[in-house]
Amino acid sequence: MKQLLSQQIQAMRQRMQLLYRSANGDSHQQDLLPKAFEELDYALEELQTLEMEIYQQQTQLLDIREQLEAERQTYQELFEFAPASYLITSPAGAIHRANRAAATLFETVEKFMIGRSLALFVPEGERRAFRDQIMRLRTLDGIQEWEAHMQPWGGRPFDATISVGIVRGKLGHPRALRWIIKKISRTTEEHAQRDGHNAETERRARNDNAKGYA
């Protein structure tokens, strides 16, 4: 729009230069005055019209900007105050954003989570397996769900269900991971059954390994 305004002004200057040269070469200069005023009036109308168009476009852009800002604020509040624990990480698992529910779940505050690996909120002995799971997400599509042990910052581990959505760019490369982490509330009997199942699974794995070396 600025370029168009500049072109309009340049055209007006060219017309005035032609009138000036014509007036210098004509003995009846007074006959050119009405035409000069007519040219000036026409140029002024063009500039006023253009000014109005620019004003209208700026007003529309401001309205769009305010609308986008209001929508951004709404989404920010929905993310921030959602009852579920939401996190956004890099494809490698570095935390970019975490809402209040996530900070409460991991017994910390949002700003201390930003930049840290989500694997740090997993019991130390299970972090490598958790990182491997994150790496496998690169090759998968859709929502991935599994159960895992999570651990608050300095707190006790707990069972959790994890749902992860992969955000990909135009070329299909992973850009971000969106996480929903929910704490599982189990009864004492359910914990015993789970621990027994895990112990049996580990025992079978040891036996299979022993047979492999036999």
More confident residue, 99 or 82: 99
Ranking 97-101, 135-139, 171-175, 201-205 by mean pLDDT, the lowest is 201-205
Share of the chain above pLDDT 90, in %: 40
* pLDDT for res 203: 55
Rounded Cα distance, 87 and 85, in Å:
7
Rounded Cα distance, 176 and 134, in Å:
11
Residue 21 banded pLDDT, cuts 50, 70, 90: low
Residue 79 scores a pLDDT above 90: no
Instruction: Give the predicted TM-score (pTM) of the model.
Output: 0.60
Q: Of the spans 37-46, 76-85, 123-132, which averages the highest pLDDT?
A: 123-132
Would you call 32 exposed, middle or buried from its count of C-beta atoms within 10 A (0-12, 13-18, 19+)?
middle
Residue 114 banded pLDDT, cuts 50, 70, 90: very high
**SS3 of residue 145 by DSSP:** strand
Q: How far is CA 205 from CA 30, 107, 191, 200, 210, in A?
A: 108, 35, 21, 9, 9
- Over residues 181-185, the mean pLDDT reads 92
Chain position carrying tokens 């299909």: 172
